[in-house]
Copies of this chain bind each other. A is one copy, B any other.
Amino acid sequence: MNTKITKRMTFCAGHRLYNPQLSDEKNLEIYGPCSHPGGHGHNYILEVTVSGAIDPKTGMIINLRSMKEIISREIIAKVDHKNLNSDVDFMRGIIPTTENFAAEIWKILDRSFGGELLQKIMLRETENNCVEICR
């Protein structure tokens, strides 16, 4: 029996998909309207899943309020109402595709939760696409 708990949080951010090492034509070919210079943005949904034994004293794997605190401090506070291309330290120099963005979030949360607690993250960019990373 493998037990996991998931916390869902939301934020909104702006971004532009553009690789400065490629021509504008190549960027348009790869990223389509996402490469538009003015940028656009999304309401992101982030689901963070940890697994572990249930503590018999509390009946919890981890306190959901601790999860919320960690995710808020490490991720939400840094990205909510921000521009992913210019305002977010951990995205500096990284093309903010959902894959790249999720990979950076994973690295930060994996360090923050420690051990092998972090099991999966799901980052949803729109109702029609999302990225999952798991151990």
Chain A interface (Cβ within 8 Å of chain B)? 1-10, 12-15, 17, 19, 21-22, 30, 32-34, 36, 38-43, 49, 54, 57-61, 63-65, 80-83, 85-87, 94-100, 102-103, 106, 126-135
Say whether B38 contacts A40, CB under 8 Å.
Answer: no
Closest to A4 in B: B132
Alpha-carbon gap, A87 to B41, bound state (A) = 14
Q: Is the interface of A mostly helix, strand, loop or mixed?
A: mixed
Q: How many copies does the complex hold?
A: 6
In the complex, what residues of B have CB within 8 A of residue A87's CB?
A: 36, 38
Say whether A99 contacts B5, CB under 8 Å.
Answer: yes
Contact of A58 among B19, B94, B96, B128 (CB under 8 A): B19
Closest to A67 in B: B129
Say whether A64 contacts B4, CB under 8 Å.
Answer: no
Say whether A41 contacts B42, CB under 8 Å.
Answer: yes
In the complex, what residues of B have CB within 8 A of residue A80's CB?
A: 33, 40
Say whether B97 contacts A128, CB under 8 Å.
Answer: no
Closest to A55 in B: B99
